[in-house]
Amino acid sequence: MTDQDRPQIYLLTPAHFDAETFADTLAPVLDAAAIACLRLRFASDDDSEVARAADAVRALAHARDIPLVIDRHLALVERLGLDGVHLTDGSKSVRKCREALGADPIVGTWCGTSRHDGMSAGEAGADYVSFGPVGDTALGAGDKVDPELFSWWSEVIELPIVAEGALTSDLVRAFAPITDFFAFGDEIWRADDPAAALKALDAAIG
């Protein structure tokens, strides 16, 4: 696998973290491997809490030339100086978000296990689509994405795809030839040493 073919890392923050202290945890993780994009996945609908969380990570990301996107909060992208938005409703909101943000900001979306939804999102202007979960998880309906979707997509569709959800080193090795990005989040944050956990997953990419 050449460097050009090698999938890149798309890092997710924890859904909950202390904005006052998280920077000290995040910095060594951002330096542990090459990060293509960072997603602020903060489980709050309080704009002030989300803003504090964004402030905690934005400077670290931008100092390393890592774009920072935010889950769902389209209205906060420009206000908080972020680089785009990650949607969670498949193709439903992509066109509206693209029209609101313009051509330059990143618009990505989670499409679960639906090939059709992924294709529709691409047609609506998404910069990437995320499929998953790849591994076994108790979240959602319990469905897993079929590896055949990734194989087909990598051969037919140019739009970048992200493998996300319950990834293990074995799954990373299996999906590395057929995905563009791996989204690592809980896989590393639940470890005692998140930076070391990320290095291990990065090594599995090959």
Tally of residues, the chain: 206
Domain containing residue 118: 8-189
CATH of the domain at 23: 3.20.20.70
Q: Is residue 89 part of a domain?
A: yes
Mean pLDDT taken over the chain: 94
Q: Look at residue 1 and tell me whether its pLDDT is greater than 50.
A: no
Lowest mean pLDDT among 41-45, 83-87, 147-151: 41-45
Q: Is residue 178 part of a domain?
A: yes
What does the alpha-carbon distance between residue 2 and residue 11 come to, in Å, rounded to a whole number?
22
Q: Look at residue 96 and tell me whether its pLDDT is greater than 90.
A: yes
- Name which residue leads in pLDDT, 4 or 128: 128
Closest CA to 149 of 197, 187, 116, 186: 116
| C-alpha separations of 204 from 6, 34, 62, 197 in Å | 11, 14, 26, 11
To the nearest whole percent, how much of the chain has pLDDT over 90? Answer: 92
Q: Is residue 12 part of a domain?
A: yes
Q: Is the bond preceding 147 in cis, omega lying within 30 degrees of 0? A: no
Q: Is residue 130 part of a domain?
A: yes
Average pLDDT score over residue span 21-36: 97
Q: Is residue 19 part of a domain?
A: yes
Contact 171, 206 (CB under 8 A): no
203 pLDDT tier (thresholds 50, 70, 90)? very high
Q: Which amino acid is at 206?
A: G
pLDDT of the residue at 137: 80
Q: Is residue 91 part of a domain?
A: yes
Average pLDDT score over residue span 36-52: 93
Number of domains in the chain: 1
Q: Is residue 196 part of a domain?
A: no
Q: Is residue 206 part of a domain?
A: no
pLDDT of the residue at 34: 98
Enumerate residues 6+ apart whose C-beta is below 8 A from 76.
47, 50, 51, 54, 70, 82
